[in-house]
Amino acid sequence: MGSEVWALIHTGRNPSHRDYRATVTTMWRAFPSDPAVSADKVPAELPEPPLTPRQTADAWVRRVRKWAHAQGFYVSDGGVLPHLITHAYVTEHPDDPRPPLRRP
């Protein structure tokens, strides 16, 4: 049974249950390009992949929320940052400019 069908049936039986979290598990298996390469020749630390524009924007929003909470503001984790808080943060942290807007 698909998770969507289960959620609909469960909500029908329990009308107060309306929010569900989907958890996806993806299994990965990696192989060296050359099977003769031993583990001691693989670099201990691989370079971090570059952040995508979405990851950059999300990281910026997390920093602003953390700053806002420290200043005594309440910012919902799921909501949009209020303009006043964004403006105050950018004014106080001019070296951390707002990332470009994400395009849908």
Pick from 52, 66, 63, 71: nearest CA to 95:
63
Which pLDDT tens digit goes with each residue over 44-88?
676 778 888 888 888 888 899 889 889 888 877 777 788 888 889
CA-to-CA distance for 81 and 104, rounded, in angstroms?
18
Structure tokens at 71: 């200043």
Percentage of the chain modeled with pLDDT above 70: 79
Structure tokens at 29: 């298996």
